């Protein structure tokens, strides 16, 4: 006796070959149209996950920026948000997928300009969150224009700092490196305050 097969979704008849293929791949009987529909939804789901990871990365970055901003403010530095995304809301979302010199330069703008409370010296600051606690020369954008920039790397446990020049020389931030933010003589920071903010970083990022 020959069995009749039909699509679980639309109830239309399908062949034995379609049934076997569908059961093996999708674990349910589907016609070719609904097989394609499920495949398409799977692709869209993948895109959604990538978008979710992108958003998650943005949120971690924002938390790291706020942490460093508050650290310097608590030490009486003047802190100015410098990146274009801070002066033109939504511009980074607008520039997603856009390739041009202008878009590239906007993305490269440091996050902050800070001013020392006593010596009035100013610094470009770029903040990065790195769960791996790593930042190397290869992580610099090609032809990065802000050669006097300081990169502050926030991780689950530490806050470290390295300059553009040091990266070019081959130095790097790693879990075993000792380039802690509190050791930068240029800033003359209170190490106890930095320890407090490291505790905040642990609280926010311990499960990342």
**Please, what is the end-to-end C-alpha distance for the chain in angstroms?**
58
Cα 136 from Cα 191, distance rounded (Å): 24
Q: What is the pLDDT of residue 97?
A: 44
pLDDT at 96 > cutoff 60: no
Single out the residue of 131, 129, 130, 133 nearest to residue 175, CA to CA. Answer: 133
pLDDT at 54 > cutoff 90: no
Residue spans per domain, the chain: 53-205
Q: What is the pLDDT of residue 27?
A: 81
Highest mean pLDDT among 5-14, 137-146, 169-178: 169-178
Helices then strands, counting H and E runs in the chain, come out as 7, 7
pLDDT in tens, 183-196: 999 999 998 999 89
53-205 CATH pick, 1.10.3470, 3.40.1350, 1.10.357, 1.10.1740: 3.40.1350
E strands within the chain?
A: 5-6, 13-14, 78-81, 112-115, 122-129, 149-154, 159-163
């Amino acid at each position: 006796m020959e069995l009749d097969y039909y699509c679980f979704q639309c109830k239309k008849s399908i062949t034995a070959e379609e049934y076997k293929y569908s059961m093996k791949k999708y674990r349910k009987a589907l016609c070719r149209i609904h097989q394609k529909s499920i495949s398409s939804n799977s692709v869209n789901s993948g895109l959604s996950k990538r978008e979710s990871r992108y958003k998650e990365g943005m949120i971690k970055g924002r938390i790291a920026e706020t942490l460093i901003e508050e650290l310097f403010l608590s030490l009486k530095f003047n802190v100015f948000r410098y990146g274009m995304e801070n002066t033109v809301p939504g511009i980074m979302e607008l520039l997603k997928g856009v390739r041009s010199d202008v878009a590239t330069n906007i993305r490269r703008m440091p996050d902050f300009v800070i001013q020392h409370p006593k010596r009035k010296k100013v610094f470009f600051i770029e903040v990065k969150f790195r769960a791996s606690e790593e930042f190397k020369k290869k992580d610099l954008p090609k032809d990065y224009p802000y050669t006097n920039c300081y990169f502050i790397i926030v991780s689950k446990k530490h806050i470290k700092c390295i300059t553009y020049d040091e990266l070019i020389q081959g130095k790097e931030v790693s879990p075993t490196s000792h380039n802690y933010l509190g050791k930068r003589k240029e800033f003359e920071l209170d190490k106890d305050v930095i320890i407090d903010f490291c505790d905040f970083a642990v609280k926010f990022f311990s499960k990342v």
